[in-house]
């Protein structure tokens, strides 16, 4: 098998597509720390979560032992509209770099939302509909999640209310219009529509918002509107579960040609694409069946893994959400406004946080100008215009391939190309005009933010 020529794109047939999601937590000896009720500091019960989240999603969120969940037929049918996503052998990039490394990327940008987020959006909308709900609320930063959710909601006939971080609402009018095309209502956050929005605006007049603020608003709206629940596009265990489709397809495609990766690389915002991509590989690693180097890539301007604390923190700025033990920069942390490259969330998936804490994966941070250099190099040789978020993974994949060039090692590198960058041309413009800067928070900045961590333990 290994001598067989590997095609540019390895596709799976419909029959070869995964029929179940894989729950990585089932194979973890030390489980991710539970969500805590901020008032009692006791683990959140399903009853306490029920006003916020859909019932089936709560079950998935809290289940640390079931390894496989069947993908319902309605979701599998929707997946067939844009999956399997291609696993591409980056022959052109390899040649350009003159590296002996073999580079593959799993491309999740082949759907209208332009990212992997649709994989979880469709699942969350399905369970909300099945529960008989009227609609869902959510937040969106750059807009990929809001777009994915509005597509999923229109498919199942659910209302969709999106709080969009104000700076993105203003900078990305076309994203907003895509969401409205799919029937979503979009409000710039912070807004006067919610009490928490009013509070944040009173404390910080003129603020351009943050994901943490928008989450608080969406949660308040969901819990005060009958027939509504809140849905989140990253960070949560349930989202990593749905995103395992990425890794399962990747592994099935590689297995077809007998290819075993040495290094698996993904960008990390809240950790959902990375958690999904690595799931089956990390599962093997946890069970002692195989070993891989796994690398999370984050922006130097929002370095949760590499400079954060592993501690209980709020998931949102308004402190209305449960406490989550994760690598965090503090819920009050707002990345510099000149950071254009996405991945701005202050915290990280509890699952990935625990794996990183145990040394089962690595993390590196990269400055945004070097990310855009990699994005442009990739676009010019592989054709795809990558999202800035995805380009963090490209940066480190290229760096690892260049290291192989020095050592002569023929390593196999797989990275997640999470989406396309058509709505990020303002950031590309800044880069082309030489106006992009690399703001990196100082230790003092971070210390100020850590001081606001809740006292737990």
Considering the complex, state which of residue 188 and residue 386 has its C-beta at the smaller distance from ligand PLP: 386
The torsion angles phi and psi of 358, rounded to 5 degrees, stand at -85, 0
Residue among 387, 397, 367, 390 at smallest CA distance from 428: 387
Cβ at position 391, least distance to ligand PLP in Å: 9
Considering the complex, state which of residue 271 and residue 303 has its C-beta at the smaller distance from ligand PLP: 271
d(CA 197, CA 213): 7
Considering the complex, state which of residue 114 and residue 261 has its C-beta at the smaller distance from ligand PLP: 114
Cβ at position 393, least distance to ligand PLP in Å: 9
Cβ at position 155, least distance to ligand PLP in Å: 19
Burial of 38 (0-12, 13-18, 19+ CB in 10 A): middle
Contact positions toward ligand PLP, by CB under 6 A? 115, 117, 144, 234, 267-274, 343, 387, 389-390, 418-419
Considering the complex, state which of residue 347 and residue 404 has its C-beta at the smaller distance from ligand PLP: 347
d(CA 403, CA 346): 31
d(CA 211, CA 217): 10
Cβ at position 390, least distance to ligand PLP in Å: 5
Q: Which residue is nearest to ligand PLP (CB)?
A: 419
Cβ at position 349, least distance to ligand PLP in Å: 8
Considering the complex, state which of residue 99 and residue 168 has its C-beta at the smaller distance from ligand PLP: 168
Considering the complex, state which of residue 145 and residue 312 has its C-beta at the smaller distance from ligand PLP: 145
Considering the complex, state which of residue 94 and residue 378 has its C-beta at the smaller distance from ligand PLP: 378
Considering the complex, state which of residue 159 and residue 424 has its C-beta at the smaller distance from ligand PLP: 424
Cβ at position 46, least distance to ligand PLP in Å: 24
Considering the complex, state which of residue 178 and residue 267 has its C-beta at the smaller distance from ligand PLP: 267
d(CA 15, CA 84): 10
Considering the complex, state which of residue 191 and residue 390 has its C-beta at the smaller distance from ligand PLP: 390
Cβ at position 132, least distance to ligand PLP in Å: 28
Cα 236–chain centre separation: 10
Residue among 320, 334, 324 at smallest CA distance from 271: 324
Contact 38, 316 (CB under 8 A): no
Considering the complex, state which of residue 265 and residue 404 has its C-beta at the smaller distance from ligand PLP: 265
Cβ at position 160, least distance to ligand PLP in Å: 17
Cβ at position 232, least distance to ligand PLP in Å: 10
Cβ at position 193, least distance to ligand PLP in Å: 24
Cβ at position 254, least distance to ligand PLP in Å: 21
């Amino acid at each position: 098998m290994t001598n067989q020529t590997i095609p540019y794109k390895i596709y799976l047939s419909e029959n070869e597509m995964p029929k179940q999601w894989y729950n990585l937590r089932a194979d973890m000896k030390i489980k991710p720390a539970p969500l805590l009720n901020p008032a009692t500091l006791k683990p959140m019960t399903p009853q306490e979560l029920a006003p916020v989240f859909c019932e089936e999603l709560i079950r998935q969120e809290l289940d640390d032992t079931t390894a496989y969940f069947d993908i319902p037929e309605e979701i599998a049918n929707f997946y067939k509209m844009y999956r399997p996503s291609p696993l591409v052998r980056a022959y052109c990039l390899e040649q350009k770099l003159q590296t002996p490394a073999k580079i593959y990327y799993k491309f999740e940008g082949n759907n209208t939302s332009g990212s992997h987020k649709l994989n979880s959006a469709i699942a969350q909308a399905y369970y909300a509909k099945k529960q008989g709900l009227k609609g869902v609320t959510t937040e969106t930063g750059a807009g990929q999640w809001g777009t994915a959710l509005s597509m999923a909601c229109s498919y199942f006939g659910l209302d969709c209310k999106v709080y969009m971080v104000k700076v993105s609402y203003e900078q990305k009018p076309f994203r907003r219009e895509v969401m409205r095309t799919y029937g979503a209502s979009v409000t710039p956050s912070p807004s006067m529509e919610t009490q928490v929005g009013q509070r944040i605006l009173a404390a910080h007049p003129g603020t351009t918002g943050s994901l943490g603020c928008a989450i608080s608003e969406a949660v308040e709206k969901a819990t005060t509107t009958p027939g509504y629940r809140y849905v989140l596009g990253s960070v949560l265990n349930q989202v990593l579960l749905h995103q395992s489709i990425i890794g399962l397809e990747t592994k099935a495609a590689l297995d077809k040609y007998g290819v075993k990766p040495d290094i698996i690389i993904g960008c990390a915002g809240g950790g959902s694409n990375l958690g999904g991509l690595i799931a089956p590989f990390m599962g093997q690693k946890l069970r002692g069946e195989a070993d891989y180097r796994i690398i999370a890539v984050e922006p130097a301007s929002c370095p949760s893994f590499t400079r954060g604390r592993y501690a209980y923190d709020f998931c949102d700025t308004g402190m209305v959400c449960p406490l989550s033990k994760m690598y965090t920069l503090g819920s009050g942390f707002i990345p510099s406004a000149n950071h254009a490259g996405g991945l701005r969330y202050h915290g990280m998936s509890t699952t990935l946080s625990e794996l990183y804490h145990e040394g089962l994966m690595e993390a590196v941070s990269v400055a945004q100008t070097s990310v855009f250099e990699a994005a442009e190099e990739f676009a010019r040789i592989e054709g795809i215009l990558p999202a800035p978020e995805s380009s963090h993974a490209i940066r480190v994949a290229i760096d690892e391939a260049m290291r192989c060039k020095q050592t002569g090692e023929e390593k196999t590198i797989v990275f997640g190309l999470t989406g396309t960058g058509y709505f990020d041309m303002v950031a590309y413009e800044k880069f082309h005009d030489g106006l992009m800067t690399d703001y990196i928070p100082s230790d003092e900045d971070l210390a100020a933010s850590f001081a606001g961590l809740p006292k737990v333990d």
